């Protein structure tokens, strides 16, 4: 539902060096272990801080995080994965959302099991765990970070999305705003972006909410008027300047051809088509098959993948460098894709038959993607390494 969110791993100046680090990643040995929460929270009362015995870590700059058996795990290149969280063990628990802080020093996550889910922030260097002082709801929450110390929590209540913020240094929390309905939401450059159809123009409008100011900012049309037959997970560039979107209108518009567009958020008449029909036939995209678009960390490349149809493929925003990747891996939401910090690689995590598999691809390379992690969900690279 939200997308977490974008992100990154290696810092390489040359592809050769990037490939060497990438190869080193492949030797990670992962083990599984399971556990469960009994913590309860009250929205109006500061909850207790959980301080389990820290698990020794190889260093404090973790390459990626993932969820397994109701616990949060972290790992670095060439190191065995370490179980970061030490929550009480219980069968049937799972992590439903996971998000890095911009400085890679904390992870926000939610754990569900018996009763309502519980929301946490964990220190990635010590394992110190705190329960967030936000209401617990039956529907899973998702997370974003406005800055290194301010976590944003998005919760569905009575068909709408309540947005909470919390200062992780003081545990002071407050409801920031409420968004009508349950649209896709992304957090970029201190702002919340969400899309809603305008009742007057019948266009899908992308809205920006400035967290620091606490008010609605700009909005921009990201489709022509009408109803699209496609389900597309749009994305906003890391700096908030552009958005990528796709649509197939039953009644074509005279100025917006059906297809995929790279759109200037501040002036939506400044737009360029990408993933054009000669590169990937638009007719191959079917109604009901979710399409996910994702910007690279520098905002210059977009990856497209689907649940059951075409992809993964990439194109630069000038529509000059189209690349197809193998093997095909189906994804259905923004949380299924993550970027290495330098944009050299991206990861796709697919789920089927109660199992998950992550595949790593090298951007603009014809090399076959490499299976990375199995039976681990929500894999996301740290923004800094």
Q: What is the pLDDT of residues 268-282, one digit of tens each?
A: 999 999 999 999 999
Q: What is the pLDDT of residues 130-146, one digit of tens each?
A: 999 999 898 889 999 99
Q: Highest-confidence range of 7-21, 56-70, 71-85, 313-327, by mean pLDDT?
A: 313-327
Residue 260's pLDDT band (cuts 50, 70, 90): very high
Tell whether the model's pLDDT for residue 85 goes beyond 80.
yes
Residue 77's pLDDT band (cuts 50, 70, 90): low
Neighbours of 9 (CB within 10 A): 30
User: Taking a C-beta distance cutoff of 8 angstroms, is the pair 306, 330 a contact?
Assistant: yes
Residue in the block written with tokens 């890095």: 100
pLDDT value, residue 216: 93
- What distance in Å separates the CA atoms of residue 151 and residue 101, rounded to the nearest whole number? 8
Tell whether the model's pLDDT for residue 76 goes beyond 70.
yes
Tell whether the model's pLDDT for residue 42 goes beyond 60.
no
pLDDT-above-70 percentage for the chain: 83
pLDDT value, residue 353: 74
pLDDT value, residue 233: 98
DSSP output for 208-276 = EEETTTTEEEEEEE-S-SS-BSS-EE-EE-TTSSEEEEEE-BSS--SSS-SEEEEEETT-TTSEEEES-
Q: What is the pLDDT of residues 365-374, one digit of tens each?
A: 999 999 988 8
pLDDT-above-90 percentage for the chain: 72
Residues 6+ apart with CB under 8 A from 339: 6, 7, 8, 9, 294, 296, 297, 345, 346, 347, 381
pLDDT value, residue 60: 43
- What distance in Å separates the CA atoms of residue 287 and residue 246, rounded to the nearest whole number? 12
How far apart, in Å, do the first and last CA atoms of the chain sit? 27
- Whether domain 31-182 has CATH 3.30.465.10: no
- What distance in Å separates the CA atoms of residue 131 and residue 168, rounded to the nearest whole number? 10
- What distance in Å separates the CA atoms of residue 233 and residue 187, rounded to the nearest whole number? 14
Mean pLDDT confidence for 264-293: 95
Q: What is the pLDDT of residues 53-75, one digit of tens each?
A: 344 343 344 589 999 999 999 98
Tokens of 155: 């919760």
pLDDT value, residue 17: 37
Gyration radius of the chain over CA positions: 20
Q: Domain residue spans in the chain?
A: 31-182, 185-385
Tell whether the model's pLDDT for residue 339 goes beyond 90.
yes
Tell whether the model's pLDDT for residue 108 goes beyond 50.
yes
Q: What is the pLDDT of residues 173-182, one digit of tens each?
A: 999 999 999 9
Residues written for the chain: 385
Residue in the block written with tokens 């063990």: 89
pLDDT value, residue 292: 98
273, 342, 372, 380 from 319: Cα distances, Å: 7, 21, 30, 27
């Amino acid at each position: 539902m939200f997308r977490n969110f974008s992100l990154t791993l290696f810092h390489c100046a040359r592809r050769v060096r990037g490939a060497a680090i990438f190869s080193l990643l492949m030797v990670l040995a992962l083990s599984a272990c399971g556990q469960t929460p009994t913590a309860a929270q009250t929205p109006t009362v500061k909850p207790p801080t959980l301080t389990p015995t820290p698990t020794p870590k190889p260093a404090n700059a973790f390459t990626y995080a993932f969820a397994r058996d109701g616990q949060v795990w972290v790992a670095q290149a060439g190191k065995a994965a370490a179980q970061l969280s030490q929550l009480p063990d219980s069968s049937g628990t799972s992590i439903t959302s996971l998000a890095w802080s911009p400085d890679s020093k904390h992870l926000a996550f939610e754990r569900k099991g018996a009763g309502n889910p519980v929301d946490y922030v964990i220190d990635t260097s010590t394992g110190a765990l705190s329960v967030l002082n936000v209401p617990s709801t039956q529907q899973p929450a998702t997370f974003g970070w406005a800055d290194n110390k301010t976590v944003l929590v998005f919760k569905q209540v009575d068909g709408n999305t309540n947005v909470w913020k919390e200062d992780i240094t003081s545990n002071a929390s407050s409801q920031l705003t409420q968004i009508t309905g349950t649209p896709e939401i992304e957090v970029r450059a201190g702002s919340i972006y969400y899309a809603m159809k305008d009742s007057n123009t019948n266009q899908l409008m992308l809205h920006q909410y400035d967290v620091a100011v606490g008010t609605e900012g700009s909005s921009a049309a990201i489709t022509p008027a009408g109803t699209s037959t496609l389900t597309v997970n749009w994305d906003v560039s890391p700096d908030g300047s552009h958005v990528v979107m796709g649509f197939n209108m039953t009644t074509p518009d005279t100025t917006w051809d059906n297809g995929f567009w790279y759109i200037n958020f501040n002036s939506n008449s400044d737009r360029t088509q990408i993933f054009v029909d000669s590169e990937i036939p638009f007719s191959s995209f079917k109604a009901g098959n979710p399409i996910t678009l994702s910007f690279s960390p520098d905002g210059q490349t977009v990856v497209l993948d689907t649940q059951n149809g075409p992809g993964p493929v990439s194109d630069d925003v000038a529509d000059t460098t189209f690349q197809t990747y193998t093997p095909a891996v189906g994804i259905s939401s923004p949380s299924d894709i993550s970027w290495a910090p330098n944009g050299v690689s991206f990861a796709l995590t697919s789920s089927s038959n109660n199992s998950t598999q992550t595949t790593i691809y090298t951007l603009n390379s014809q090399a076959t993607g490499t299976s990375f992690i199995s039976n681990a969900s929500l894999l996301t690279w740290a923004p800094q390494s």
